[in-house]
């Protein structure tokens, strides 16, 4: 085995020097990927981690558990802040814009509001995550649009996850210095970096903290502590499940841990304590079943719910297994051992292993080092079942996600999403620490383990900074206008701004970019151009020459321009029409039907009746996944439909109609609040008092 090759102190020094030289080689060959400051951060954190490791074995800290905990957590916080600082100013993205609209529409938390939060629907999929959405709602209430606070909270909780892993591993090994390494490594793993950066997924971080804490408490129960420990662990497990359903196996894990201890006669587990643990797990599942049935009863057939029959098919199971094995290889192994992943940034962020793997000298050497590390893992009689159960909980978590996702997404999508690996990484890294600890007790093997883990930590620290840099670069198209508007509105609180463009970044991270600035600057943005004191477009901020001081919107409908793009999905035929603007009680209302017809519902001034106009595009839908750009323009008494700026249909009005009853995001239809999405709707542009381009003649 590898440790037999390094019996002498000299051979270990040579091995350490060789690994250090190789690490330096990786820096030289990828030096331009980070700034000198960031390379300095990687080196500083690596050196600092070594210093903390040795100090934890020294008498001052060894004799004081409180000082040890403070030292460890402080270093974790510092490491996380340094690694994730490039993205701490990034504003929200993607899914968060939809759910933030829902939050902003709730003035007080009533029973009906709680129901709406619990049944939030994103891109047509109902998500019954009451605990997660309530958590996000209260965070939104507390922080508003101060994005720095969102990032600081995520980074702090991420550090707490590392600390919880440290605590759980220390419970198994009784070795704080060794446990410190694994908690710190978790904080810098590149494979789940976007779970921290994308602040939407705070509930995944919290769920992982609950898992690690529950495991720690269960081990305490096994070691002889009172039943209170297992009761609290059961309570934490139900909260974790309500945050995100893939953690459904946690209660079973806790019971099996106690069962394994009972069978191996480990600790003080007798039959009575085993029954108590089993009763706790059963109570959790009964409670969750009741909550789930109640949640389903709330849908009242108004939401599309994927059934077990849809997921448990031969085809879906096979796809799920392929996704699982690819993820174990690509993410849990390749990305976590320090091989630099490739980021594909489009509407969201996809993480893939490098295409040139076997032919890459760097990748081959890193894999060889990792295999040397794996060869030192041992499953001793005392902890082998615990390690196996932790690995299985990580696999079960991802398997639940894979079964649900491959039903509507590609395998490549499932294996590339950072957020799906945060929880499995926590469980599997804890298991890895347990398996390595036996050989760690041997002097020669200890140094090999420390040298390889140090290199892996350095590479992950560098890779995660590279990934943060990439996200930051691709968020500047939204960050820059946000901070410019923030500075302007802070010094001009009475100003109104008309946003005369859609922020665009070549299709990258574009979901919600059309409504982002309105949401971030609610109250300062208007869609009536003549009511705006200033205009903001690609050129920046300037005074509005057509501003009409003291003017108010007319009670009757005048000229307007509404433009958007949309894309149909393959399953579009089973979904509803899309309400882009308005609702059953908010007019005018604009709807896109599944056959491409645009419907405009207006309220007649004289009769008060709702009249519906239909506009038939001159194009034929060639197939799904095609993007279509349409514009509705009212000029005088004519309303026309444009398809890629070519007039396709028009209607001449013979009556007057009620003007827009809202402004800004209040105009948006249910689609923008996450409901009934049989297609993407993007690039929405509204101008409620001007006919841009006019209607001209029908072409």
Q: What pLDDT digit, counting tens, does each position of 478-536 carry?
A: 999 999 999 999 999 999 999 999 888 777 777 888 889 999 998 899 999 999 999 99
Which residues of the chain are modeled with pLDDT < 50? Answer: 570-574, 620, 622-624, 678, 698-699
Q: pLDDT at position 162, please?
A: 97
Question: From CA 587, how far away is CA 658, in angstroms rounded?
Answer: 8
> Whose CA is closest to 389, among 281, 289, 290, 314?
281
Q: 560 and 633 in contact (C-beta within 8 Å)?
A: yes
Q: pLDDT at position 576, please?
A: 66
The DSSP 8-state label assigned to residue 657 in this structure reads: B
> Whose CA is closest to 366, among 247, 470, 458, 266?
458
The DSSP 8-state label assigned to residue 658 in this structure reads: B
Whose tokens are 């139900």? That residue is 238
Q: 399 and 415 in contact (C-beta within 8 Å)?
A: no
Q: pLDDT at position 24, please?
A: 93
Can you state the percent helix, strand and coil of the chain, rounding each to 5? 60, 15, 30
User: Residue 542 phi/psi, 5° resolution?
Assistant: -150, 160
Q: pLDDT at position 679, please?
A: 53
β-strand partners of 537: 540
Alpha-carbon distances, residue 47 vs 262, 284, 457 (angstroms): 42, 44, 11
Q: pLDDT at position 594, please?
A: 72
Q: pLDDT at position 264, please?
A: 81
- Residue environment code for 411-450, b if the CB has 16+ CB neighbours within 10 A, otherwise e: beebbbbbbbbbbbbbbbbbbbbbbbbbbbeeebbbbbbb
Alpha-carbon distances, residue 302 vs 299, 458, 592 (angstroms): 6, 51, 19
Which two tokens mark 688? Answer: 């409620």
User: What 3-state class would DSSP assign to 684?
Assistant: strand
H-helix segments, 313-442:
314-327, 361-374, 384-405, 411-414, 422-440
User: What 3-state class would DSSP assign to 674?
Assistant: coil
> Whose CA is closest to 77, among 37, 48, 38?
48
Q: Is the dihedral of CA 241, 247, 248, 252 positive or negative?
A: negative
Which two tokens mark 591? Answer: 């709807």
User: Residue 356 phi/psi, 5° resolution?
Assistant: -90, 95
107 class by beta-carbon count within 10 Å (0-12 exposed, 13-18 middle, 19+ buried): exposed
* Nearby residues of 246 by Cβ (< 8 Å), 6 or more positions away: 396, 397, 398, 400, 401, 423
Which two tokens mark 199? Answer: 């602040």
User: Residue 26 phi/psi, 5° resolution?
Assistant: -65, -30
* Nearby residues of 566 by Cβ (< 8 Å), 6 or more positions away: 578, 592, 627, 628, 630, 679, 680, 681, 682
Q: How many CB atoms lie within 10 A of CB 387?
A: 23
Question: From CA 514, how far away is CA 664, in angstroms rounded?
Answer: 11
The number of angstroms, rounded, from the C-alpha of 30 to the middle of its chain's C-alpha atoms is: 28
- Strands 497-499 and 534-537, bridge-based pairing: parallel
Q: pLDDT at position 323, please?
A: 87
Q: pLDDT at position 513, please?
A: 86
148 class by beta-carbon count within 10 Å (0-12 exposed, 13-18 middle, 19+ buried): exposed
């Amino acid at each position: 085995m590898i440790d037999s090759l390094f019996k002498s102190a000299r051979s270990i020094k040579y091995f350490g020097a060789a690994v250090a030289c190789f690490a330096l080689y990786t820096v030289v060959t990828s030096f331009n990927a980070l700034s000198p400051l960031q390379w300095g951060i990687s080196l500083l954190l690596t050196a600092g981690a070594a210093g903390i490791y040795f100090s934890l074995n020294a008498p001052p800290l060894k004799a004081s558990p409180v000082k040890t905990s403070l030292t460890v957590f402080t270093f974790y916080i510092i490491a996380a802040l340094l690694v994730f600082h490039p993205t701490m100013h990034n504003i929200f993205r993607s899914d968060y814009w939809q759910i933030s609209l829902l939050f902003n529409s709730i003035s007080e938390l009533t029973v009906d509001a709680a129901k709406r939060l619990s049944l939030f629907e994103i891109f047509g999929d109902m998500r019954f995550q009451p605990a997660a959405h309530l958590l996000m709602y209260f965070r939104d209430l507390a922080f508003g649009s101060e994005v720095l606070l969102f990032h600081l909270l995520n980074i702090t909780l991420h550090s707490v996850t590392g600390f919880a892993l440290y605590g759980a591993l220390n419970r198994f090994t009784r070795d704080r210095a060794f446990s410190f390494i694994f908690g710190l490594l978790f904080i810098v793993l590149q494979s789940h970096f976007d779970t921290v950066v994308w602040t939407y997924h705070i509930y995944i971080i919290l769920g992982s903290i609950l898992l690690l804490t529950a495991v720690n408490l269960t081990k305490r129960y096994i070691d002889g502590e009172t039943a209170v420990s297992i009761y609290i662990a059961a309570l934490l497990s139900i909260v974790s499940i309500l945050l995100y359903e893939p953690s459904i196996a946690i209660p079973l894990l806790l019971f099996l841990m106690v069962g394994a201890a009972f069978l191996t006669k480990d600790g003080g587990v007798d039959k009575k304590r085993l029954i108590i643990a089993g009763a706790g797990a059963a109570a959790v599942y009964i409670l969750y079943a009741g909550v789930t049935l109640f949640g389903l009863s709330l849908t009242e057939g108004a939401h599309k719910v994927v059934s077990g029959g849809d997921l448990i098919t031969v085809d879906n199971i096979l796809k799920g297994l392929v996704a699982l094995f690819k993820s174990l290889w690509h993410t849990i192994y390749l990305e976590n051992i320090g091989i630099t992943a490739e980021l594909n940034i489009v509407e969201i962020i996809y993480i893939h292993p490098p295409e040139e793997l076997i032919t890459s000298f760097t990748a081959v050497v890193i894999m060889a080092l990792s295999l040397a590390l794996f060869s030192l893992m041992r499953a001793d009689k005392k902890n082998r079942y615990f390690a196996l159960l932790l690995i299985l909980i990580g696999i079960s978590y991802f398997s639940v996600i894979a079964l649900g996702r491959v039903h509507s997404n590609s395998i490549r999508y499932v294996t590339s999403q950072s957020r799906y690996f945060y929880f499995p990484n926590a469980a599997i890294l804890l298991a890895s620490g347990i398996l390595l600890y036996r050989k760690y007790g041997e002097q020669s093997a200890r140094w090999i383990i420390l040298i390889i883990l140090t290199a892996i930590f350095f590479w992950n620290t560098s890779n995660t900074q590279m990934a943060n840099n990439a996200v930051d670069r691709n968020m500047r198209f939204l960050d820059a206008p946000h901070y410019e508007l923030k500075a302007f509105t802070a010094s001009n609180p009475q100003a109104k701004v008309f946003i005369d463009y859609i922020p665009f970044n070549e299709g990258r991270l574009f979901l919600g970019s059309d409504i982002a600035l309105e949401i971030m600057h609610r109250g300062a943005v208007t869609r009536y151009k003549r009511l705006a004191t200033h205009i903001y477009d690609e050129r920046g901020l300037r005074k509005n020459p057509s501003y009409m001081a003291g003017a108010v919107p007319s009670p009757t409908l005048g000229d307007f321009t509404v433009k958007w793009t949309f894309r149909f999905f393959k399953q579009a035929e089973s979904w509803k029409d899309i309400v882009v603007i308005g609702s059953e009680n908010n007019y005018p209302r604009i709807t896109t039907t599944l056959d491409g017809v645009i419907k405009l519902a207006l309220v007649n001034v004289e009769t008060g009746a709702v009249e519906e106009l239909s506009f038939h595009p001159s194009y034929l839908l060639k197939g799904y996944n095609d993007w279509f750009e349409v514009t509705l323009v009212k000029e005088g008494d004519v309303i026309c439909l444009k398809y890629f700026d070519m007039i396709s249909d028009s209607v001449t009005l013979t009556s007057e109609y009620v003007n827009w009853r809202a402004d800004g995001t209040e105009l948006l239809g249910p689609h923008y609040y996450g409901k009934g999405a049989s297609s993407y709707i993007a690039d929405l542009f509204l101008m409620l008092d001007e006919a841009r381009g006019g209607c001209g003649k029908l072409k």
